[in-house]
Structure 1
Amino acid sequence: MNYEKMYSTIDTHVAGEAFRIVIQSPIRLGGDDIQAKQDELKNNFSNEKNLLLNEPRGHRGMHGCVVTPSRVADFSLLFFNHQDVSNFKYEGLLATVTALVETGNLNRAANDLYKVETVKGIYTLKALVENQEVTSVSIESESCSEIEANLDYTLVRVDDDRNYLLYTLPDSIPSIELEHLAKLNRWGLERTTELMNENIDYVGIVVVESVSSSPGKIRSVTFERDGYILRSSGVDSTFAILTALGQKENSESEIENHSIFGSSLTAKRIAGDEHRFSLETEAFITGSHEFIFDQDDPLKEGFLLA
């Protein structure tokens, strides 16, 4: 066994979305510039990234995070993901702060505030700890805005950076429930296929259902660019829905966004700023692992199931 090829990770999830956090590995990224390190990670280490993301070690829903030192924050966080997946996810920040604090890889801050450096900027998170367990972690968005509304969808830009297309649940699908997953999946694949050849810049497609009996409660499903269904209701998606609702009369200042798998995220409008939101949730550690990259393994890079 060659321990120089060992990767130590902490596996986590936020509302069902899985993150594999690399805390020790042979991956060496030079310099202090966060963008240069992210570019180096993106353009190299394909075997190593596939090892961690694909079956039989990972799966299509797995996201990768690499923790590195930072001179301007408590640590810096780099993302690596499957093709057509955003290279930044709020959930990764929430999961990593939780994992590092709970495992002792990050000293607890006296004020419970932690700064994380990313290619999108430096974010401040608040993590509340009880009995060495992070009971909640919260973050605030950057500016979000509605860009376009037409008969088909509403285009919302989250953090002045990532575009989401919001659709109302079509009449052909009774509700966003697991029993209608096959219909939802077909609908999402049809939309992503239609958009593939159109010149529209977007990160995800969100289909939304309001729950008439519960004001402020939303059900949604987010499809990534390859048609894959996000496993959670999505932080970005929740911010995007709240942004779109803000354009309507008597709009909600808080929504509870439920996924098809039963998890939920709650976002609130920040007082005095109609374009920014806050979200508080809990992340969970599901395991710690050590992976070995073996050049002789016929499945050393794994595979994806259709």
Structure 2
Amino acid sequence: MRLLIPCVETHTCGEPTRTVIGGFPNLPGETIRAKQVYIQEHLDHVRKSLIREPRGHRGMFGAILTPPVSPDAVCGVVWFDNAGYLSGCGHGTIGVGITLVETGMVPASGPLTTFTVDSPSGLLRLSVRAEGGRARETSFENVPAFSVGSDLAADVPGLGRIHVDIAFGGNFFAILDAAQAGLEIRPDKASHLAEVGLKIREAVNAQVPIRHPTMPHLDRVQIVTFVAPPTRPGARYLNTHMFGDGAIDRSPGGTGTSAVMTALYAKGKLAIGEEVVAEGIAGGLFRGRLLRQTALGDRPAVVPEITGPAYITAFHQFVLDSDDPWAEGFELH
């Protein structure tokens, strides 16, 4: 049996998003989280096929568009990477925004097209800016973000004791200065960043208990963020994010920028409305700010906004053949 999966490919400051726009059966579930669980339990072979070699690679990232579950949303989205599924993705949100407007799935309405998208972590409010007849960048109002704690200690084999800030920006992040781990944020150091990031994540999750106040299934750090002084004029910091099974985010990171801003705010180092420019390992820039204070259950929270560019790179029709011995792909480490 052959399954045809149409996708639109984008990159956001160098980080890919493979957006599935069709080919899936009707997905049961009244929430995007329920649809995500259904895909994970019944259709995970599709994720593996699209992410792994020979169709993908270790750093590939994906999105599956679904029917909306909220009255005002244009669609839903499920995020996936080389290890499984995520509750949020900022670079992917930017890429999906460009995809929806550039392909006409969401009709453009002048220089700024606004709409909402359902995600596993909540409703995302997108504004896609057009210039010269082209969609250029997406701003999105993220779900509420909050700090778990600042300068939390964890003992990491081979590193000793480190201190991290933990914040939720759509995913849970452990944030630390790269120098604390003896690292440099450079493209030629990506493998080492990934290796150390995996060790830090394992140690933090074993030693620091966390749980989202309204989504209790989110109870572990998914992403490790390394921060260093910027190299681009105007940037506040340079960072990269280790996610999945040792993948390195090429972009400045959308949920990552949300988490870093939230950690800075918790330390009194960032004000509501103050703009932050974040630099990614590939040299791209995102703009971010905290729009307002809010609450998440009984926990104080903030609402981040992130802006960045994305570009369509390809339109694919993937063929998944059940007779293919490598239909679910493979991984090289």
TM-score bucket of the superposed structures, by smaller chain: 0.7 to 0.9
**What amino acid is the match of 2:332?**
L
Look up the SS of the partner of 1:205 in the other structure. Answer: strand
Once the two structures are TM-superposed, the CA of residue 171 in structure 1 deviates from its matched residue by 5.3
Identity in percent: 24
Instruction: Kindly indicate whether residue 299 of structure 2 is the aligned counterpart of residue 288 of structure 1.
Output: no
Once the two structures are TM-superposed, the CA of residue 204 in structure 1 deviates from its matched residue by 1.1
Per the normalisation by structure 1, the TM-score is 0.86
Look up the SS of the partner of 2:325 in the other structure. Answer: coil
Q: Partner of 1:29 in structure 2?
A: 27
Q: Partner of 1:304 in structure 2?
A: 331
Per the normalisation by structure 2, the TM-score is 0.79
Structure 2: how far apart are the matches of 1:169 and 1:120?
28
Once the two structures are TM-superposed, the CA of residue 301 in structure 1 deviates from its matched residue by 1.0
Q: Summarize the Cα distance change of 1:67–1:142 in structure 2 as closer, same or farther, 3 Å threshold.
A: closer
Matches within 5 A, 1:244-255: 244-248=263-267, 251=270, 253-255=274-276
Instruction: Kindly indicate whether residue 286 of structure 2 is the aligned counterpart of residue 265 of structure 1.
Output: yes
Which consecutive unaligned segments of at least 5 residues does structure 2 have?
154-162, 210-219, 295-300
Counterpart among 236, 245, 251 of residue 217 in structure 1: 236
Q: Partner of 1:234 in structure 2?
A: 253
**What amino acid is the match of 1:258?**
E
Q: Partner of 1:6 in structure 2?
A: 4
Look up the SS of the partner of 1:92 in the other structure. Answer: helix
**What amino acid is the match of 2:185?**
I
Higher strand share: 2
Contact 1:85 1:224 in 2 (8 A): no
Once the two structures are TM-superposed, the CA of residue 216 in structure 1 deviates from its matched residue by 5.1
Look up the SS of the partner of 1:293 in the other structure. Answer: strand
Instruction: Kindly indicate whether residue 101 of structure 2 is the aligned counterpart of residue 101 of structure 1.
Output: yes
Can you list the C-alpha shifts for 1:276-303, whole angstroms capped at 9, x where unaligned? 2211111111100111121221211111
**What amino acid is the match of 1:82?**
N
Instruction: Kindly indicate whether residue 40 of structure 2 is the aligned counterpart of residue 42 of structure 1.
Output: yes
Structure 2: how far apart are the matches of 1:233 and 1:293?
32
Matches within 5 A, 1:68-83: 68-70=66-68, 72=71, 73-83=73-83
Counterpart among 186, 200, 206 of residue 191 in structure 1: 200
Once the two structures are TM-superposed, the CA of residue 20 in structure 1 deviates from its matched residue by 1.2
Q: Summarize the Cα distance change of 1:44–1:132 in structure 2 as closer, same or farther, 3 Å threshold.
A: farther
Structure 2: how far apart are the matches of 1:250 and 1:36?
37
Can you list the C-alpha shifts for 1:245-279, whole angstroms capped at 9, x where unaligned? 22445646222221222222221232677822211
Can you list the C-alpha shifts for 1:150-198, whole angstroms capped at 9, x where unaligned? 3511121225xx3211112225636422354455344324323434644
Structure 2: how far apart are the matches of 1:228 and 1:250?
29
Counterpart among 166, 180, 188 of residue 155 in structure 1: 166
C-alpha RMSD of the superposition: 2.9
Q: Summarize the Cα distance change of 1:113–1:290 in structure 2 as closer, same or farther, 3 Å threshold.
A: same
Which consecutive unaligned segments of at least 5 residues does structure 1 have?
none
Once the two structures are TM-superposed, the CA of residue 139 in structure 1 deviates from its matched residue by 0.7
Q: Which sits farther off after the overlay, 293-302 or 45-54?
A: 45-54
Q: Summarize the Cα distance change of 1:214–1:174 in structure 2 as closer, same or farther, 3 Å threshold.
A: farther
Q: Partner of 2:158 in structure 1?
A: none
Q: Summarize the Cα distance change of 1:177–1:46 in structure 2 as closer, same or farther, 3 Å threshold.
A: closer
Q: Summarize the Cα distance change of 1:173–1:114 in structure 2 as closer, same or farther, 3 Å threshold.
A: same
Structure 2: how far apart are the matches of 1:258 and 1:50?
30
Contact 2:320 2:327 in 1 (8 A): yes
**What amino acid is the match of 1:46?**
D
Q: Summarize the Cα distance change of 1:83–1:174 in structure 2 as closer, same or farther, 3 Å threshold.
A: closer
